[in-house]
Amino acid sequence: MLKTNIITKGFKTAEARWARFGPYYAMFPLEFAFEVVDKYSNPGDYIIDPFAGRCSSIYAGGVLGRNSLGIEINPVGWLFGTVKLHPADKEEVIDRLLEVFGNRKLYQNEIEKMPEFYRFCYCDEVLKFLLSARYNLDWRNNDVDATLMSILLVYLHGKLGDGLSNQMRMTKSMGMNYSVQWWKKNNMITPPKINPCEFILNKINWRFDKGKPQITESYVIFGDSSIELNSITEKAQLNCIKFSLLFTSPPYFSITDYHADQWLRLWLLGGDENPQTLEDKYKRRFSNKLEYYYLLDNVFGLCAKLMKRKSTIYVRTDKREFTFNSTLEILKKHFKKHAVQIIEKPLKIDTKTQTKLYGDKSMKPGEVDIILTNSKK
Ligand SMILES: C[S@@+](CC[C@H](N)C(=O)[O-])C[C@H]1O[C@@H](n2cnc3c(N)ncnc32)[C@H](O)[C@@H]1O
């Protein structure tokens, strides 16, 4: 019997409570992630996801007793993933919250110079508190700071009352001008009065209420998989490790800019005050066909060296011609001995596809699963 009931039974276990941690654009439906791991691997197997997002694949692997390894280039996805796999101790997170809150008074002058957007989005107490977190939390290197920061990221914006902000979407940060105009038009220029310490303390207490999840050795690396996979391959060879399941969803060609879409969360992590389209490769929308093809070719080629002969490659992607054809061609090239199965996802019935979650309007026409299997040892 599939252990997905850990997840589907609301928030009754620590595993279920942490599983949904972190809103992210184009995330896997949770039950789907658990079903794939359960069907195509066994406890003790190794699983890899080179485009991990908020790490549902890796988390499902860890909960179901698989050793799982993710790679993610976007700090927001990485932080959600790394914290849900290994949250710090609750008491330490609360102590740090109190410190950050205590330091907020230092930032009174600074908030007065901030763009109108921030003043409409957050009340003064929240904005000072956010600046204190932005300047003081060492989220890359310290697990307590990472846990607190990731909880702040979850509640940074959302429906009025659900988060620290004025009315906003949750998965994606809206543009500055758009938001300001929208708040003005809807008579909402006064942000909600919130005591951020009390608000976040409640969220910490709720998240930890059932404890921490039980996870088999599982990690997510912060970086570019086309680089990180080289050292992973070396380490795996040294330790005689081979992977049984590659389970991923690569970025879709020309659809999403994962960094620009998370600009406000990236600001809290120390990024620019204004929304930015980054110049770095793989940190902006994929609009160059060669660069996109090269990334998939490189990453799946490197992954192929890590996989057992008897393994499954499960890739969820976009049905659109260029993304689908390139992905299929590349997978067939690197996994020549595997049999290929293609499952189309009918959009109109499946309301839980990645793109439809949170009522997203920038619809893709559909998704498709490419499954490659080789049952010979
Ligand atoms: C379709 S999303 C994956 C969503 C994921 N399945 C989930 O449930 O959250 C693709 C992810 O690939 C990441 N990505 C793109 N290029 C990358 C690279 N070179 N190395 C690692 N991650 C990359 C993006 O930041 C994005 O989070």
154 is a domain residue = yes
User: Which amino acid type is present at position 156?
Assistant: L
For residues 131 and 73, membership in a common domain is answered with no
For residues 68 and 129, membership in a common domain is answered with no
Beta-strand pair 307-318/367-373 = antiparallel
- The H-assigned helical ranges of the chain are 5-8, 14-19, 30-40, 56-63, 75-85, 90-102, 108-112, 116-121, 124-136, 143-154, 176-185, 196-207, 225-238, 263-268, 289-306, 321-334
**Tell me: the pLDDT tens digits for 320-365?**
999 999 999 999 999 999 999 999 875 544 444 444 443 444 444 6
**What's the confidence (pLDDT) of residue 254?**
76
The ligand 1 atom nearest the CA atom of 228: 20
User: d(Cα 355, Cα 249) in Å, to the nearest integer?
Assistant: 12
74 is a domain residue = yes
For residues 168 and 294, membership in a common domain is answered with no
Q: Nearest to residue 312, comparing CAs of 73, 81, 66, 25? A: 66
Record the pTM. Answer: 0.92
Weakly modelled stretches of the chain, pLDDT under 70: 1-6, 8-9, 278, 283, 346-365, 377
Which of 27, 37, 51, 369 for mutating ligand 1's site (highest number of atoms within 8 Å of CB)? 51
Q: Interior CA angle at 237 toward 235 and 241, to 5°?
A: 90
321 is a domain residue = yes
Domain boundary among the residues 152, 183, 207 is at: 207
- As for how many domains the chain has, the answer is 2
19 is a domain residue = no
Kindly state the tokens that stand for 282.
Answer: 């793989």
> How far is the centre of ligand 1, averaged over its atoms, from the C-alpha of 52 (Å)?
5
**What's the confidence (pLDDT) of residue 2?**
55
Domain span at 96: 90-207
293 is a domain residue = yes
**What's the confidence (pLDDT) of residue 100?**
98
258 is a domain residue = no
Residue nearest to atom 19 of ligand 1 (CA): 224
**What's the confidence (pLDDT) of residue 365?**
62
For residues 170 and 243, membership in a common domain is answered with no
User: d(Cα 199, Cα 83) in Å, to the nearest integer?
Assistant: 20
User: d(Cα 160, Cα 29) in Å, to the nearest integer?
Assistant: 24
307 is a domain residue = yes
